[in-house]
């Protein structure tokens, strides 16, 4: 290999080692939000979103049936919603940003190398704040964190009570900052701090 290709390979190997052996303490970003309109069964699984978070992790590269898969971790959001009688709303969980949230909670707090403190902060669609189908997601977040800050930026241009969005989009958005200070305490739900930002786009983006 030439020098450039060799350096890229070395960097790739270092990144792989880091992701496999180094514990992640902070996960932040602006995941995409796009609810998949097609229902399960309307298209082949390999063309549906969510990967192993939604569909489970194959134990065999070419599994013969669903019984050869590990349990999909998205079920931790789905099952409480179904148990609460909100099963009809579970379709709203099939959204890119929900998959990101579920993965981040697993990566920082649930995989074998994760047992201590961590921070997750995302700006995403705000549907999980009140939607009945997201009851399991809210429950899992409160179990994972010690403290959670929610900044509701509103921005609903489609509903009956229209509010301006700070971004050039029609989806209401919110910023979430979740912190775990020590080892997990799922029996002590996170303290939630909530603030709603109101006003025009110009007012909220000034300065």
Is residue 191 situated within a structural domain? Answer: yes
Structurally, the chain folds into a number of domains equal to 1
Q: How many angstroms separate the CA atoms of 134 and 116, rounded?
A: 26
| pLDDT band at residue 112 using 50, 70 and 90 as cut-offs | confident
Structure letter (DSSP) for residue 134: G
Is residue 72 situated within a structural domain? Answer: no
* Model pLDDT, residue 63: 47
Do 165 and 153 touch, CB atoms closer than 8 A? yes
Q: Which domain holds residue 163?
A: 25-32+96-205
Is residue 155 situated within a structural domain? Answer: yes
pLDDT of 115 over the 90 cut? no
Is residue 85 situated within a structural domain? Answer: no
pTM: 0.80
Is residue 117 situated within a structural domain? Answer: yes
* Model pLDDT, residue 23: 82
Give the other-Cβ count within 10 Å of 25's Cβ: 12
* Model pLDDT, residue 159: 60
Q: In 3D, which of 148, 134, 126 has the Cα closest to residue 197?
A: 126
Is residue 140 situated within a structural domain? Answer: yes
Tens of pLDDT, residue by residue over 163-187, are: 777 766 678 899 999 999 988 888 8
| pLDDT band at residue 194 using 50, 70 and 90 as cut-offs | very high
């Amino acid at each position: 290999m030439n020098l450039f290709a060799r350096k890229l390979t070395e960097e790739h190997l270092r990144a792989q080692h880091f992701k496999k052996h180094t514990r992640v303490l902070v996960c932040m970003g602006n995941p995409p939000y796009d609810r998949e309109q097609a229902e399960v069964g309307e298209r082949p699984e390999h063309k549906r979103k969510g990967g192993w978070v939604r569909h489970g992790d194959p134990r065999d590269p070419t599994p013969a049936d669903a019984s050869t898969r590990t349990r999909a971790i998205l079920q931790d959001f789905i099952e409480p919603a179904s148990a609460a009688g909100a099963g009809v709303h579970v379709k709203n969980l099939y959204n890119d940003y929900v998959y990101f949230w579920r993965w981040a909670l697993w990566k920082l707090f649930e995989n074998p190398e994760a047992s201590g403190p961590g921070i997750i902060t995302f700006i995403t669609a705000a549907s999980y704040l009140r939607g009945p189908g997201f009851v399991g997601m809210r429950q899992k977040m409160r179990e994972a964190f010690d403290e959670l800050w929610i900044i509701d930026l509103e921005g609903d241009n489609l509903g009956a009570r229209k509010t301006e969005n700070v971004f050039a989009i029609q989806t209401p958005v919110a910023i979430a900052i979740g912190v775990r200070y020590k080892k997990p305490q799922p029996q002590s739900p996170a303290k939630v701090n909530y603030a709603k930002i109101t006003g025009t786009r110009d007012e909220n983006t000034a300065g």
